[in-house]
C-alpha cells in the first residue's frame, strides 16, 4: 500500500541528495521547500525524481492571481506530484491556481496552506487578528474557501484534522506537518502530534522532518515509523 510519509528535505543540495539516496521511494515521498529549491532549482527536483521519488513542491505561492497561475503552470512542467498555495491569497488567487492545473493531463495534487504550524493564537494577534480569533475556526474557513475554488485539499496542523473531517468530509486531502514521535530540541512548530494519532484522526499524508533527517539511519527510522502505525489505520487511508 502507498506510504503516507513525506520527508522534508530542508537542506542544501548535496546533503539533500545524500539523504534521499538512503531512503526508499516505496516508503516515503519527498518535500522540497524554499531552502532546497532556491539552491538547486528544477535541476534538483529532476535528480530526486530520477531516484524514484514523488515530489511535493512546498513553495506556498501567494501573489496576484495571474502570477500564481503562471507559477503553478511552471511547476507542472517540472513534473511534481503535489504543490501548494497560501489560502490567505483569497478566492480569486485560489481559483487561478486550480484553473492552471485543469489544463494538465497529469494533474498534481493542489493544496491550500491554512496556517503555518509555527503560529498560534498569540502569533495571530501579533499580525493583526482580533483577540477573539480562534485558530480552528480560521483554519476551517480557509479550508472551505480552498474547496469552493477547486483545490484538492489543505495543509493543516494535527489539531485541526478532526474538525476539518467533520466540516468538509472525507473527499478532501489533508496533509499534516508538525509530526514527531518525541519533542525535538529547538522545535519551532507549536501545533504537533505523533504519526499514528494524525493518521487515525484523518490525515492522508504526514510530513516528517528532523525525526528522520537527523537520525543516523534515516531509512530504518522511516521503517520504524511505518511499523508503529496500526495496520488498520494504514488500510483506511486513500
Q: SS in 3 state form for 1-68?
A: CCCCEEEECCCCHHHHHHHHHCCCCCCCEEEECHHHHHHHHHHHHHHHHHCCCCEEEEEEECCCHHHH
Q: Give the three-state DSSP class for 83.
A: strand
pLDDT at 184: 47
Give the CA count within 13 Å in the CB-facing half-sphere of 126.
5
Structurally, how many domains does the chain consist of? 1
pLDDT at 112: 98
Active site residue 31: no
Q: Look up the CATH number of the domain holding residue 134.
A: 3.20.20.70
User: Within 10 Å of residue 64's Cβ, how many Cβ atoms?
Assistant: 12
pLDDT at 110: 98
pLDDT along the chain (238 residues), means of 10: 92 97 97 97 98 98 98 95 97 98 88 85 79 85 97 94 94 91 52 83 94 94 92 74
CB distance 16 to 27 below 8 Å:
no
Rounded to 10 degrees, the C-alpha dihedral 210/16/204/67 comes to 120
CB distance 213 to 18 below 8 Å:
no
pLDDT at 1: 66
User: Within 10 Å of residue 153's Cβ, how many Cβ atoms?
Assistant: 23
pLDDT at 82: 98
Domain that holds residue 124: 5-235
Rounded to two decimals, the pTM is: 0.90
Catalytic residue among 22, 29, 47, 60: 60
pLDDT at 20: 98
> Which residues are CB-neighbours of 183 under 8 A, at least 6 positions away?
192
pLDDT at 185: 43
pLDDT at 192: 64
pLDDT at 131: 75
Amino acid at each position: 500500500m502507498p506510504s503516507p510519509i513525506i520527508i522534508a528535505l530542508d537542506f542544501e543540495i548535496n546533503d539533500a541528495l545524500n539523504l534521499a539516496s538512503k531512503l526508499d521511494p516505496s516508503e516515503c515521498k519527498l518535500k522540497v521547500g524554499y531552502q532546497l529549491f532556491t539552491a538547486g532549482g528544477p535541476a534538483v527536483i529532476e535528480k530526486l525524481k530520477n531516484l524514484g521519488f514523488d515530489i511535493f513542491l512546498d513553495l506556498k505561492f501567494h501573489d496576484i492571481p495571474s502570477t500564481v497561475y503562471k507559477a503553478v503552470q511552471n511547476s507542472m512542467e517540472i513534473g511534481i506530484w503535489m504543490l501548494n498555495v497560501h489560502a490567505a491569497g483569497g478566492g480569486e488567487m485560489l481559483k487561478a491556481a486550480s484553473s492552471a492545473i485543469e489544463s494538465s493531463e497529469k494533474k498534481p495534487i493542489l493544496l491550500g496552506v491554512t496556517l503555518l504550524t509555527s503560529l498560534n493564537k498569540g502569533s495571530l494577534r501579533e499580525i493583526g487578528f482580533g483577540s477573539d480569533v480562534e485558530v480552528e475556526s480560521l483554519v476551517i474557513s480557509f479550508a472551505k474557501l480552498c474547496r469552493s475554488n477547486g483545490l484538492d485539499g489543505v495543509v493543516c496542523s494535527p489539531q485541526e484534522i478532526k474538525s476539518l473531517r467533520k466540516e468538509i468530509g472525507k473527499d478532501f486531502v489533508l496533509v499534516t506537518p508538525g509530526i514527531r514521535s518525541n519533542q525535538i530540541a529547538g522545535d519551532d512548530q507549536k501545533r504537533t502530534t505523533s504519526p499514528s494519532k494524525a493518521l487515525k484522526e484523518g490525515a492522508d499524508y504526514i510530513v516528517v522532518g528532523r525525526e528522520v533527517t537527523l537520525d543516523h539511519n534515516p531509512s530504518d527510522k522511516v521503517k520504524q515509523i511505518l511499523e508503529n502505525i496500526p495496520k488498520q489505520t494504514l488500510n483506511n487511508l486513500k
